[in-house]
Amino acid sequence: MTPGSVTSAARAFGSHGDGLPGPVMVVGSTGMLGRAWVALLRGRGIEHVPTTRVEVDLRDPGSIERTVDGRCRWVVNCAAWTDVDGAEKDFAGAVALNATGVEALARQCKRVGATLVHYSTDYVFNGQATQPYPTDHPREPLNAYGKSKAMGEEAIERSGCRYLILRTSWLYAPWGKNFVRTIAGLLRQRDSIKVVDDQRGRPTSCEPLAETSLKLMAKGAEGMYHATDGGECTWCGFAREIGRLLGTKCRVEPCTTAEFPRPAKRPAYSVLDLSKTERLIGPMTPWEVTLADVVKRLEVG
Ligand SMILES: NC(=O)c1ccc[n+]([C@@H]2O[C@H](COP(=O)([O-])OP(=O)(O)OC[C@H]3O[C@@H](n4cnc5c(N)ncnc54)[C@H](OP(=O)(O)O)[C@@H]3O)[C@@H](O)[C@H]2O)c1
């Protein structure tokens, strides 16, 4: 299969007569992106099967075989090990989900003829670029999480299943554990905070990401794509915009990565090139616009 080709996946949409995809299984439906997917499918009236780790445990191949049984044309995998710092201490744990588990899921998709839609990360790159990373740029992860996700990408490519891999970055939603909710809490409590200003990337809101994914599926996209919100910023710029939208008085001061050492190395530059995606479905919405929508609806707690 040629990465990015528009093939049999497009034909699968037509089979329901309504232009919508056939039944969609959402693996990891309780996660931040998983919740956005389920809300989107419910809102559009698209038949779907949300699964939690009770039905599909990526560490248990038997559960994958039992549950991914061919009733769904699409398997959207939102499940992953996402604890970036934790992966440094437990690389085997991250690999068990992000590589071995994903490989088992891809094999099962091939077996039952389902298309696997999978999410990967900007952390598969080394962060040394000065312009956006194209989809075919060589993988060179800097940390254990990035390595486990790169191994997952490679496993899907090797599996022979029909797939769409979407690399994304800096995810957030009104729910779940994410930068926007953490910073909003700090901005409300403190007079000033320091935020890293030497890492650049693309914030991405989960709800538009699920919609972008569905649009790409409807266009029959297969292979590797990048999907983030438009524009770019540093974490400090991101935090300042959250403060501006919330109307808090807290000062957001820039600091360096060296001032806040973390177990896992982070890429200094991880902007993903969107041109392949935008050629197919049009421009991505600027991150400031999607952020304004989410900040109004942040869940408390
Ligand atoms: N968050 C980011 O900033 C970011 C950036 C780039 C790419 N991504 C990628 O985007 C995708 C979605 O990320 P997210 O932030 O939405 O993740 P998340 O909120 O951390 O959710 C992870 C999901 O995986 C499930 N899970 C954990 N262990 C499992 C297992 N053994 N078997 C089955 N499911 C299991 C969790 O279930 P429980 O609720 O039961 O724990 C949860 O539903 C992931 O592929 C991630 O690598 C994320």
Structural Rg of the chain based on CA atoms:
19
Distance CA(264)–CA(127), nearest Å, equals 13
For 2-38, the pLDDT digits (tens) are 333 333 433 444 444 345 567 999 999 999 999 999 9
pLDDT for 298:
92
Tell me, in angstroms, the distance from the centre of ligand 1 to residue 117's CA. Answer: 14
Give the position of tokens 């044309």: 73
Amino acid 8: pLDDT:
41
Please give the pLDDT value at position 301. Answer: 72
Write down the pLDDT at residue 142.
94
Q: Which pair of tokens denotes residue 202?
A: 């693309």
> For position 1, what pLDDT does the model report?
30
pLDDT reported for residue 3: 30
Q: How far apart are CA 139 and CA 247, in angstroms?
A: 40
Distance of alpha carbon 105 from alpha carbon 210, whole angstroms: 20
Model pLDDT, residue 232: 97
Tell me how far apart the alpha carbons of residues 4 and 222 are, in angstroms, rounded to a whole number. 5
The architecture CATH gives domain 8-169+205-230+265-284: 3-Layer(aba) Sandwich (3.40)
SS (H, E, C) 7-18: CHHHHHHHCCCC
Residue nearest atom 4 in ligand 1 by C-alpha distance: 171
**Binding site membership of 57 for ligand 1 (Cβ less than 6 Å):** yes
pLDDT of residue 21: 66
CA–CA distance, 259 with 246 (Å, rounded to integer): 26
What does the pLDDT read at residue 5? Answer: 30
DSSP 8-class letter at 229: -
Question: In 3-state terms, what secondary structure has residue 1?
Answer: coil
**Rounded distance from Cα 247 to ligand 1 centre (Å):** 31
Q: Which of 119, 133, 145, 163 is the catalytic position?
A: 145
What pLDDT, on a 0 to 100 scale, did the predictor assign at position 17? 38
Taking the centre of ligand 1 as the mean of its atom positions, its distance from the CA of residue 29, in whole angstroms, is 9
Would you state the pLDDT for residue 20?
55
Run means of pLDDT, 10 residues per run, the chain, 301 residues? 34 44 91 97 93 96 94 95 97 98 98 96 96 97 97 98 98 97 96 96 98 94 97 98 95 94 93 97 97 93 72
Percent of the chain with pLDDT over 90: 89
Helix (H) or strand (E) holding 30: none
